[in-house]
A = this chain, B = another copy of it.
Amino acid sequence: MSKIQVAIAEDQAMVLGALAALLETEPDIAVCARATNGRAALTALGTHKTDVLVTDIEMPEMTGLTLAAEVRDRWPDVQVIILTTFARPGYLRRALDAGAKGYLLKDRPSAELADAVRRVHRGQRVIDPELASEAWNSEPDPLTERERQILWRAGEGRSSADIAAELHLSEGTVRNYLSEAINKLGAANRVEAARLARSKGWL
């Protein structure tokens, strides 16, 4: 029985090498390709027979999400696992839309990676359990487009007057939107509101 051929895409070279070492310790898995960005991963897939692709999301050149969609179109029998820091429901949904079969968080125990590779190779789906449930019954983004625009800028440290000028609004209106957002998010002020929204992936 031959080993499962795995390709890895991850922009931090040290982490890439370490993940490869981790998978190589498994007797039934072999790392056949490594890439530090999405585009390089595509070329690699062209030259190495690959069963499973493990990829980060945030990479230069081409993100893991675009990469996953591309792989689904060009090598439909390569299974894709997204491995990322971000527990954002929005990312998960986009990953699944792009045809990914697995979505794993970097703060899960390292043993789960090899496991996920095997299961995905057998045709199963592997979604981080917490995230899966959270994605389903998670409150949807309560912010309106305006509130998002304004909260974002406020989080950068810009003043109400400044933001008002940029968006061609009156200063009072900007303060009203911020007040709304702070209230919706249950925060104590604009800074906390911005932090909260960012952490939920709404900004």
Chain A interface residue bracket vs B: 35 or more
What chain B residues lie within 8 Å of A85 (beta carbons)?
Answer: 12
Closest to A162 in B: B188
1/0 contact trace for A136-165 toward B, CB 8 Å? 000000000000000000011111000000
Q: Chain B's nearest CB lies how many Å from the CB of A8?
A: 10
Contact: B22 with A192, CB < 8 Å? no
A118 to B150 CA separation, bound complex (whole angstroms): 49
Contact: B17 with A15, CB < 8 Å? no
Q: Does A130 contact B (CB under 8 A)?
A: no
A188 to B156 CA separation, bound complex (whole angstroms): 11
- On whether A22 and B12 interact (CB within 8 A), knowing A189-B157, A195-B156, the answer reads no
Q: Does A1 contact B (CB under 8 A)?
A: no
A85 to B14 CA separation, bound complex (whole angstroms): 10
Contact: A25 with B21, CB < 8 Å? yes
Contact: A13 with B157, CB < 8 Å? no
Contact: A109 with B13, CB < 8 Å? yes
21 A-B residue pairs with Cβ-Cβ distance under 8 Å, sorted by A, are: A12-B107, A13-B106, A13-B107, A13-B110, A14-B83, A15-B110, A17-B109, A18-B110, A18-B113, A21-B21, A21-B110, A24-B25, A156-B192, A157-B187, A157-B189, A157-B190, A157-B191, A157-B194, A157-B195, A159-B188, A191-B191
A-side residues, CB < 8 A to B, are 11-22, 24-25, 83, 85, 104-113, 155-159, 187-195
Give 3 nearest A-B pairs by CB, closest first. Answer: A17-B110, A157-B192, A157-B191
